[in-house]
Amino acid sequence: MDAGLPQVRQTALRLAKPLLQGRTVFLTGSAAGSSGMARFLADAAARTVPVDLGIAAGDPRERFAGYERTLARPTKELRGMLDSADPDSSALVYAGSFTTATTVCGRRVIGARSPNHLDAERKDRQREVLGLGGRVVCLADGLAHVNTPAVVQGIPDQGIAMATSHTYLVPPSADSRRVRALAETLKRDCTRAVLTPFNPGVPCTFYGFITATSIIDFGPVEALVCWDPRTWRIHAPGILRPLPVPEGVLTSARAEVRAIARRLRRHHRYVGAFGTDGVITDAGYTIHEINPRICAGFGLLDQMAPEAAPLAAVDLVLRQLPNASAVLTEPLAALATALQRHPTPTYRLWETPGHSSPAPADEAARPTWAQQIREAAARGRLFSNELKEGDLWK
């Protein structure tokens, strides 16, 4: 890896030190167990105190909603824990890039996003940000008159849908009784849903950063996506790279990603990390969503370039310090170039499959290994590689 890549971390540290030096920082929420952030804060001369909020591991949406509830309405035990470690309430709190909390028990939260940025993740708002087709429907109508195949994304009444938590794919010629049953399932916590056409293609994700002046993307990765024909639920258990894309298609896809990221910055005044999800074909890249936060796949980038990690610290600095954009843009662009040249197949799974193994040293064996990872990651029927509609429903 490029010897200049530590510049990303060094620059972020230099920017962060005036904010963090000599301060106590509570690492909590999704950041409580982050050893990378703990090291970064320690290198910035801060004292770190991990605070586990006691939210059970499991469904990401429920877990993050639990973090937000607890940060907004701290328990007596949490108050006591913070007061014991920080009697004068001078500490800072870092709870990851998802939170919109501004204070916790009178202590300032750093690296949070605004409610406006959270709202931009709602599936109905995504249609506006991305200029998507489709329509928003009322679930009281039972998803009547769905043109199949169609993707149905529930819009939770409380909080937001995360990853594929409320995403279903209705196959062609679906039984109307099953369609009504799906509507009843979604009505448990949604009153509306977004209906969009099904787009065949290779599931593809881009990660990057939006600064005040530039958009930096780290190139495409293959999203491991599967469809459960029993429930119609879509699952996305991980990512795999590299994803070979013809040069002309890649140029077009990156232009699309940057245009959408600029729109997010313009309409929502957002700077920080982002991730897009969509499908790529020979005709180009169709973006289904853009998430304004550190996404799970950033862990793969940290794994590939540990000397620049954790990239969550870059997100923190960009959000917190208006002058950070000008200083970080160049080293981030150098990091992106180096990562795009990284030849070794790498993957990251957040829904653990039954089996996984490191990439083999023998290059000839790597395509087989990559396919085994795809199959191991699948829950139900995988749509990886180019989708053929006629094959999907067999």
Pairing relationship of beta strands 272-281 and 284-291 according to DSSP bridges: antiparallel
Position 16 pLDDT exceeds 90: yes
Pairing relationship of beta strands 215-227 and 167-170 according to DSSP bridges: unpaired
- Per DSSP, the residues of 334-352 read HHHHHHHT--S-EEEESS-
Rounded mean pLDDT of the chain?
Answer: 87
Pairing relationship of beta strands 272-281 and 24-27 according to DSSP bridges: unpaired
236: left (phi over 0), alpha (psi -120 to 50) or beta: beta
Position 389 pLDDT exceeds 80: no
**What is the pLDDT, as a whole number, of residue 361?**
56
Residue located via tokens 């008159």: 145
Token pair, residue 324, equals: 């950070």
Centre a 10 Å sphere on the Cβ of residue 72 and count the other Cβ atoms it contains. Answer: 12
Task: Pick the more confident residue, 381 or 35.
Answer: 35
Integer Cα distance of 392 and 292 in angstroms: 31
CATH of domain 202-292+321-386: 3.30.470
Task: Pick the more confident residue, 199 or 316.
Answer: 316
Integer Cα distance of 130 and 292 in angstroms: 13
Token pair, residue 313, equals: 């610290």
The per-residue pLDDT for range 254-278, each reduced to its tens digit, is 999 999 999 999 999 999 999 999 9
351: left (phi over 0), alpha (psi -120 to 50) or beta: beta
Of 107-116, 212-221, 227-236, 321-330, the least confident = 227-236
122 DSSP 8-state letter: S
The per-residue pLDDT for range 322-377, each reduced to its tens digit, is 999 999 999 999 999 999 888 778 888 776 543 344 455 565 665 666 666 666 55
What global pTM score does this model have? 0.88
**What is the pLDDT, as a whole number, of residue 160?**
84
Q: Interhelix angle for 311-320 vs 6-20, to 10°?
A: 50
- The pLDDT of 239-261, averaged and rounded, is 95
Residues in the chain, total: 394
Token pair, residue 165, equals: 């938590």
Task: Pick the more confident residue, 20 or 377.
Answer: 20
**What is the pLDDT, as a whole number, of residue 355?**
38
**What is the pLDDT, as a whole number, of residue 354?**
38
Position 2 pLDDT exceeds 60: no
CATH of domain 6-113: 3.40.50
In angstroms, the Cα distances linking 7 to 3, 15, 213, 298, 308 are 9, 12, 19, 18, 7
The per-residue pLDDT for range 68-92, each reduced to its tens digit, is 999 999 999 999 999 999 999 999 9
Where helices occur in 123-276 by DSSP H, the ranges are 123-130, 176-186, 247-268
Confidence bin at 206 (pLDDT 50/70/90): very high
Token pair, residue 245, equals: 């894309």
**What is the pLDDT, as a whole number, of residue 265?**
95
- The pLDDT of 90-118, averaged and rounded, is 96
Position 132 pLDDT exceeds 60: yes
Query: Would you say the C-alpha torsion 313, 318, 319, 322 has a positive or negative sign?
Result: positive
Centre a 10 Å sphere on the Cβ of residue 162 and count the other Cβ atoms it contains. Answer: 20
Q: Interhelix angle for 35-43 vs 6-20, to 10°?
A: 70
The per-residue pLDDT for range 365-386, each reduced to its tens digit, is 656 666 666 665 543 333 433 3
The per-residue pLDDT for range 117-126, each reduced to its tens digit, is 998 998 888 8
The per-residue pLDDT for range 133-191, each reduced to its tens digit, is 788 999 998 898 888 899 999 999 988 888 788 999 999 889 999 999 999 999 999 99
Where helices occur in 164-241 by DSSP H, the ranges are 176-186
Position 312 pLDDT exceeds 60: yes
Integer Cα distance of 143 and 48 in angstroms: 50
Q: What percent of the chain is modeled with pLDDT above 90?
A: 64
**Are 327 and 213 spatial neighbours (Cβ–Cβ below 8 Å)?**
no
Integer Cα distance of 50 and 28 in angstroms: 6
| Residue 287 bridge partners (DSSP) | 278
304 DSSP 8-state letter: H
91: left (phi over 0), alpha (psi -120 to 50) or beta: beta
Residue extents of the structural domains in the chain: 6-113, 124-197, 202-292+321-386
φ/ψ of 209, rounded to 5, equals -130, 140
Peptide bond into 149 cis (omega under 30): yes
CATH of domain 124-197: 3.30.1490
